[in-house]
Amino acid sequence: MAATSRVDSQGKAPSSAPMPRILSGIQPSGQLHLGNWAGAVRQWVELQETQESFIFVASYHALTTVKKPEELRHAVRQIAVDLVALGIDPARTCLYAQQDVPEVTELAWLLSCVCPMSLADKGVSFKDKTAKGFEANLGLYTYPILQAADILGPDSDIVPVGKDQIQHIEIARDLAGKFNALYGEVFKLPAWRLHPESDVLPGIDGQKMSKSYGNTIDPFQDEKPLRKRIMSIVSDSTPVDQPKDPDSDATFRIFRAVAGKADPRTIELERKYREPPAGGFGYGHAKQALFEMLLERFAAARTRRAQLMADPAEIDRILAQGAQRARVLVRATVDRARRACGLA
C-alpha cells in the first residue's frame, strides 16, 4: 500500500506537516505475549516520543470471543497495566479502553452501510478464528468494520501494527475511501506501519505466536515456568556438533526479534548456530541464552508491573483520562459523518 502523502515510509511526517497521530490497539483476550510486544507494543513505545499517540484496549473486539464477564473485566485492566509496564507513558500516550468510547460503535454502523458484503467476506480474522473453533458470530464477521471505526474515529494518520493486521488497515482505508467518495471528504486515510525489524513472531510450536494457539511466551511469567516454557520450544534433532540453520529455528528467531539483529548477542548466537564451537552447541544452550536475555530485557518492566498491580486505582484513573480525551475526538468525527450522510 502507498502511504498517505502526509507521511513517509517510516511513518514520519515532512517537517512542515503537523505532528502525525498514531493509533493502535490490542485485544484483552488473554495475556499479552512476546508477539504483541515485537510486532506492535515496542513501536508504540518508540513512536510516542515523536508522535501524538492513541492506544486502546480493544474490549468490544474481545467480546466476540471472551464470554466470561469477570475474565473480560480483569483482562482489560491487566492489558492496560502491562502496556504501561512495557513503557507506554500515559503522559505521552492517550491510553483508553474501547468500551469507554461507545461512539466507535455508531461510527461502525455508518461504515457498515457503505461496506459491500464482498469486502467483509475477505476478512482474514473471521476465517482464522472460526477455523480455530470460535463461534461464527456476526461481531467476529464485522470485526474489520469496527476496527475501521477505531482507526478513523480519532483521525489517525499512522497505524503501527504487526504484519497480520495489514489487511484490516487496508479494509479501513477502503471503507474511508468509499464513504468519502459518496459523501465528501469526511475521513483521513491512514497508513499502516510495521516495525523495521518486523516479522511474524513464532510461538513455542513454530507457528505464529498467538493467544488462540496456546503457544505464547509471556514476558511477565515467573522465572521458573518461563524457563520451562522456553525449554519446550520446538527444535529439530540436529546433533550439538553439527551446524544449524538459525533462520528456521523458533528459538533463534525469537531471540533475534527481541534483542535486535545488530545486537552483539544475536550475532554471537548466529555464529554458534552456523559454526558450533569445540564441545558443540545445542538447542538447549540457545534456549538458555534466550531465557537469560528475556529476563534482562524485561527486568524493569517486570518491576514496574508489580508496582502497578499493587495500585489498581492508578490504572483506572489513566484509562478514564484517556477515554475522556478520545471521546471528544471520536464524537467530532461521528458528527461530521452524520452530517455528511444526511443524519444531522
Rounded to the nearest whole angstrom, what is the least distance from the CB of residue 27 to ligand AMP in the complex?
4
C-alpha gyration radius of the chain:
21
Rounded to the nearest whole angstrom, what is the least distance from the CB of residue 130 to ligand AMP in the complex?
15
Q: Which is nearer to ligand AMP, 168 or 272 (CB)?
A: 168
Contacts of 143 (CB under 8 A, 6+ apart): 61, 64, 123, 125, 126, 168
3-state class (DSSP) for residue 169: helix
Q: Which is nearer to ligand AMP, 107 or 209 (CB)?
A: 209
Rounded to the nearest whole angstrom, what is the least distance from the CB of residue 222 to ligand AMP in the complex?
22
3-state class (DSSP) for residue 191: strand
Q: Which is nearer to ligand AMP, 45 or 161 (CB)?
A: 161
Do 182 and 114 meet the contact criterion of CB atoms below 8 Å apart? Answer: yes
CA-CA-CA-CA dihedral for 302, 305, 307, 311, to nearest 10: -170
Chain centre to alpha carbon of residue 99: 18
Interaction site with ligand AMP (CB under 6 A): 26-27, 35-36, 38-40, 58, 161-162, 164-165, 200-201, 208-210
Q: Which is nearer to ligand AMP, 171 or 340 (CB)?
A: 171
Do 6 and 51 meet the contact criterion of CB atoms below 8 Å apart? Answer: no
Q: Which is nearer to ligand AMP, 208 or 305 (CB)?
A: 208
**Catalytic annotation, pick one of 188, 208, 244, 272:** 208
| Angstrom distance (rounded) from CA 150 to CA 97 | 11
All 3 cell numbers of residue 202?
513464532
Rounded to the nearest whole angstrom, what is the least distance from the CB of residue 158 to ligand AMP in the complex?
13
Rounded to the nearest whole angstrom, what is the least distance from the CB of residue 213 to ligand AMP in the complex?
9
127 is catalytic: no
129 is catalytic: yes
Grid cell 516520543 — which residue? 49
Q: Which is nearer to ligand AMP, 61 or 227 (CB)?
A: 61
Strands, E, within 63-140: which ranges?
Answer: 93-97
Give the DSSP H/E element, type plus range, for residue 341: helix 312-341
232 Ramachandran zone, left/alpha/beta (phi>0; psi -120 to 50): alpha
Rounded to the nearest whole angstrom, what is the least distance from the CB of residue 272 to ligand AMP in the complex?
25
Q: Which residue is nearest to ligand AMP (CB)?
A: 39
Beta-bridge partners for 202: 208
| Angstrom distance (rounded) from CA 86 to CA 139 | 30
**Catalytic annotation, pick one of 12, 122, 178, 211:** 211
Q: Which active-site residues does the annotation give?
A: 129, 208, 211
